[in-house]
Amino acid sequence: MSYIERGTNAFKRVNLALFAGGFSTFAILWGTQPLLPEISKELQVSPATSSLVLSSTTIALAISMLISGSLSEVFGRKSIMALSLALSSILSILTALSPDFHLLILTRVLQGIVLAGLPAVAMAYLGEEIEPKSLGIAMGLYISGNSIGGMSGRIISGILTDYINWHAGLIGIGIITLISSFIFCLLLPPSANFTPKKLMLKPLMKSLISHLKEPALICIFIIGFLVSSIFASLYNYIGFELIKPPYNLSQTLVGFIFIVYIVGTFSSTWMGSLSDTHGRGKILYISLFILLTGSCITLNTTIWIKILGIAVFTFGFFASHSIASGWVGKVSTHDKAQASSLYLFFYYGGSSINGTASGLVYSNLGWNGLVTLIASFSVLAIGTAACLVSITTKKSKYVNRGVLSRTQTVNKREHKRR
């Protein structure tokens, strides 16, 4: 195999291309989040109903990711990713032109379907094309594009909405991501180590079901579902809270609150590094506790303390998500890409279902009720993490005992020979 080496022009092109691709995907996916209060007001729907603008996209994305990865095995990595980015950018502009709420949801569902092409395939492309010793930095740059795209999409759409309207916000996102998509197609080298395969559904489903029989993986999937539910519950409705008295913040200022994503970019890297040194279980506990603490801090009505709480919450979320998603590859014994796709399926499923369901709690019980729900999910996640640690510890002891037993048997045989 001919790998792309660090320091070469090809390596720089791959990193810039996938940074642009990750930026586009997450700017489109999350760019509507700060617009929910305006959409709710203009289209005369409740906060919970307006959250379907996000939830419909993420659930479509979750389901489609299980399919996109398989299609890329047949039609190629770059072609699926390029088509995904181009179509989702065009749909972003069409979404802005939606005359009513139902058509808005339909276009967002279509966006979720086509958006799945990049996140489902990008990591497989990097794993195949980048030299193993440089894969970590390449993956980190791709993830940073995701994070910066999610942050920038929210800020840009918030500013454009404040000065013009939410339609202009979505058109702006569409134009920027269309340019990013062009950069992606221009720079990304074609796959050199990819071999097309026949699409066979039976082995795919058999492998999929086998992952769902692994207790440790089930625990990780549940944690992904819960932390995503928590994240969507807070960020979907913090805008509604901050545009009301006593805060009365503008859409621009609400959009800039998402700059705390920078904290998450740092925490995912730092806490992930600590988990390698001190153990994933211990750092996952700490991350989930930080998540819980941050949500409770937001109960304070002082604006700066509330924003501090959001920052602490974001730190804990990104750390938890990073450790849980990284744990999948360590626990799964086969078809690791498929196992990762399943994790993302549960992850986006959580934000889709509870991102909307928590809106009913917020509408009826206010911010205090929403934080109580978030705290409950956090406690459940901590309990699931305890089960995960117990399962993996027992499995590790069993494996070590088996290795020790085999070693002792070999030693006895060698001793008899002597």
Q: Per-domain residue ranges for the chain?
A: 1-187, 201-418
Question: What's residue 403's pLDDT?
Answer: 45
**Residue 231 or 197, more confident:** 231
Q: How confident is the model at residue 396 (pLDDT cuts 50, 70, 90)?
A: low
Distance of alpha carbon 247 from alpha carbon 304, whole angstroms:
11
Q: CATH class for domain 201-418?
A: mainly alpha
* Percent of the chain surpassing pLDDT 70: 89
Question: What's residue 268's pLDDT?
Answer: 76
Query: Taking the alpha carbons of 32, 35, 37, 38 in that order, is the dihedral positive or negative?
Result: negative
The whole-number average pLDDT for the span 360-370 is 94
Residue 401: pLDDT above 60? no
**Contact between residue 225 and residue 345 where contact means Cβ atoms under 8 Å apart:** no
Distance of alpha carbon 60 from alpha carbon 68, whole angstroms:
12
Q: How confident is the model at residue 203 (pLDDT cuts 50, 70, 90)?
A: confident
Residue 360: pLDDT above 60? yes
Residue 63: pLDDT above 60? yes
Same fold, 1-187 and 201-418: yes
Fold of 1-187: Growth Hormone; Chain: A; (1.20.1250)
**Residue 50 or 130, more confident:** 50
Question: What's residue 417's pLDDT?
Answer: 59
**Residue 121 or 11, more confident:** 11
Question: What's residue 190's pLDDT?
Answer: 85
Question: What's residue 289's pLDDT?
Answer: 97
Helices 280-297 and 303-331, packing angle to 10 deg: 160
The whole-number average pLDDT for the span 112-138 is 78
Backbone angles phi, psi at 202, to 5 degrees: -60, -50
Q: Is the peptide bond before 246 cis (omega within 30 degrees of 0)?
A: yes
CA distances from 241 to 216, 248, 253, 267, 295 (A): 38, 9, 13, 26, 14
Q: Which of 236-240, 349-353, 412-416 has the lowest mean pLDDT?
A: 412-416
